[in-house]
Amino acid sequence: MRRLRLGLVGAGRRAQAHVQSILALDDRFELVAVCDINPAAAQAIGVRTGASAHGDVDDFFRAGRLDAVDIVTPPDAHHVIAKAAADYGVPMLIETPIAPTRQMAELIIEAAARAKVPLEVGENVWRWPAERLARQVLQSGAIGRVLRAYCLYVTGGYHAMNLLRTYLDYAEPRTVSAHVRRYAVEPYDFNGAHHDDETWTAATIDFAGGATAIHECTSSWSSPVRQAVPRFFAAHGTKGTLVSQGGQLEVSVVTDGKLVRHRSETTWVAGNTGRTPQQLRLGPPFDLVYENPFAAVVEHHPDLWRGGEDEVARADELNSLYRAVADGVAPEYGGRNGYRDEELVVAMNESGLAGGAPVTFPLAAITKWEEATHAAFGRAYGVDPLRDVDRARRVLFSVYGARVPAPSQAPVRA
């Protein structure tokens, strides 16, 4: 197997999990260079892995002789670093979301297409083992035609949009109605920042073919006040119901006039520090199986993000990048799917700004919320997100970013 020379841009919190995955896939990747505008962060990973450390993106690309790059910077920086990667002709994997607005996402897609380099988006939710099995259940017709998909998720509207679109077989959205509210909440600190409010979003999305998606999330998922909120995914079909919770599925269907509930079963493989799902199975009458192709290389690390299932997803997305570069196959998700997820987030925010009024597709070339986000980007970083994209390479971007909540009024206080 050919080993690719991989570079990593962004050496913050999420990058620690990526490094774990890259090292686990050492038959496919050699991490040769790491870049962070904070040189100490790059050096820490460099010392751990032997990769060369860089504080400047251009130096990194010039020195690296890279076959591919993994972009794990804050979302506001994705299009900036991706444009640099395309300029240097380097295939890329970009963390989620692809970009905060459609215009920034389009810039990435166009730059990669011009440079003829593969572009993959690290959307992880549909790659979790339970969701791979859920997709098989839905495709098998076990619960009939899906009428409604539900996603009560703790964070990242784009993750929810990926999940809902997967449950609805990537149907085209027609209208989005969203209530977006800001509330003052018990203050808390997370990722080095102080927070004293939350943005809550509740949306219904109508799709071509008549299915509807229902979504709810809060921005304060990391607050102790919200940490106990479970995530809940479900599909209501014409013949039955699929519920996905805690990495397990329950499929309920009526058989001989009686409700029968079928639960998935997981077999685990033990690692040095924990366990990883090896196989998820839904028994008779469905007989569907998800085999984890990475069971031998990834382990459950309880200190890292979502543990086992997310490690499988990260290995999966890195493998998609690998296959795109080494074998010339199309990236499994690709820039356009990342764009589609974020487009729905834009539509939810636009509807939120309009007090919940439905927003219809196709969206306007640029929405009010996108204009406000670009203006906030300019205020936060002193550069225009689209016109100054090359100059922005030397900006220190923040993970909380320039995204504006919608509606943009002051939060509701008790």
**Which two three-digit tokens encode residue 253?**
């269907």
**What does the buried/exposed string (b/e) look like for 269-298 if buried means 16 or more CB atoms within 10 Å of the residue's CB?**
bebeeebbbbbbebeeebebebebebbebb
Q: Which residues pair with 197 in a beta bridge?
A: 184
- Scanning 35-43, 171-179, 215-223, 383-391 for contacts with ligand NAD by CB under 6 A, the matching segment is 35-43
- Scanning 25-33, 144-152, 209-217, 391-399 for contacts with ligand NAD by CB under 6 A, the matching segment is 391-399
Among 7, 14, 282, 311, binds ligand NAD (CB under 6 A): 14
Expressed in angstroms, the distance from the first to the final Cα of the chain is 60
- Identity of the residue, 18 or 28, whose beta carbon is nearer to ligand NAD in the bound complex: 18
- Identity of the residue, 67 or 310, whose beta carbon is nearer to ligand NAD in the bound complex: 310
The three-state secondary structure class of 182 is strand
Residues 157-176 that bind ligand NAD (CB under 6 A): none
Among 63, 115, 214, 395, binds ligand NAD (CB under 6 A): 395
Among 4, 6, 15, 22, binds ligand NAD (CB under 6 A): 15
- Cα separation, 277 vs 123, in Å, equals 19
- Cα separation, 180 vs 159, in Å, equals 17
Q: Is residue 35 a contact point for ligand NAD (CB under 6 A)?
A: yes
- Scanning 133-141, 232-240, 377-385, 394-402 for contacts with ligand NAD by CB under 6 A, the matching segment is 394-402
Residues 67-106 that bind ligand NAD (CB under 6 A): 72-75, 77, 95-96
Nearest to 289 by CA among 272, 276, 301, 277: 277
- Identity of the residue, 84 or 143, whose beta carbon is nearer to ligand NAD in the bound complex: 84
Q: From residue 191, how far is each of 11, 221, 384 by CA, in Å? A: 14, 12, 26
Among 57, 130, 152, 325, binds ligand NAD (CB under 6 A): 57
The three-state secondary structure class of 266 is strand
CB of 359 to ligand NAD, least distance (A): 24
Q: How many CB atoms lie within 10 A of CB 386?
A: 15
- Identity of the residue, 141 or 382, whose beta carbon is nearer to ligand NAD in the bound complex: 382
Among 52, 101, 103, 124, binds ligand NAD (CB under 6 A): 124
Q: Is residue 11 a contact point for ligand NAD (CB under 6 A)?
A: yes
- Cα separation, 384 vs 79, in Å, equals 12
Q: Is residue 397 a contact point for ligand NAD (CB under 6 A)?
A: yes
Among 3, 5, 12, 307, binds ligand NAD (CB under 6 A): 12
Q: Is residue 38 a contact point for ligand NAD (CB under 6 A)?
A: yes
Q: Is residue 349 a contact point for ligand NAD (CB under 6 A)?
A: no
- Cα separation, 71 vs 82, in Å, equals 7
- Identity of the residue, 156 or 352, whose beta carbon is nearer to ligand NAD in the bound complex: 156
Per rule CB under 6 A, count of chain residues that contact ligand NAD: 27
Give the type of residue at 330: A
- Cα separation, 157 vs 163, in Å, equals 10
Q: Is residue 9 a contact point for ligand NAD (CB under 6 A)?
A: yes
Q: From residue 291, how far is each of 225, 288, 318, 386 by CA, in Å? A: 36, 10, 18, 43
- Identity of the residue, 11 or 22, whose beta carbon is nearer to ligand NAD in the bound complex: 11
Q: How many CB atoms lie within 10 A of CB 6?
A: 29
CB of 142 to ligand NAD, least distance (A): 28
- Identity of the residue, 98 or 406, whose beta carbon is nearer to ligand NAD in the bound complex: 98
Q: What is the CA radius of gyration of the chain?
A: 21
Say which DSSP state 127 is in: G
Question: Measured in whole angstroms, how far is the alpha carbon of residue 51 from the centre of its chain?
Answer: 26
- Identity of the residue, 74 or 331, whose beta carbon is nearer to ligand NAD in the bound complex: 74
- Identity of the residue, 122 or 335, whose beta carbon is nearer to ligand NAD in the bound complex: 122
- Identity of the residue, 147 or 399, whose beta carbon is nearer to ligand NAD in the bound complex: 399
Among 24, 31, 33, 41, binds ligand NAD (CB under 6 A): 41
- Cα separation, 213 vs 118, in Å, equals 31
User: What are the helix (H) ranges across 51-207?
Assistant: 57-64, 75-87, 102-115, 129-140, 157-167
Binding site for ligand NAD (CB under 6 A): 9-15, 35-38, 41, 57, 72-75, 77, 95-96, 122, 124, 393, 395-397, 399
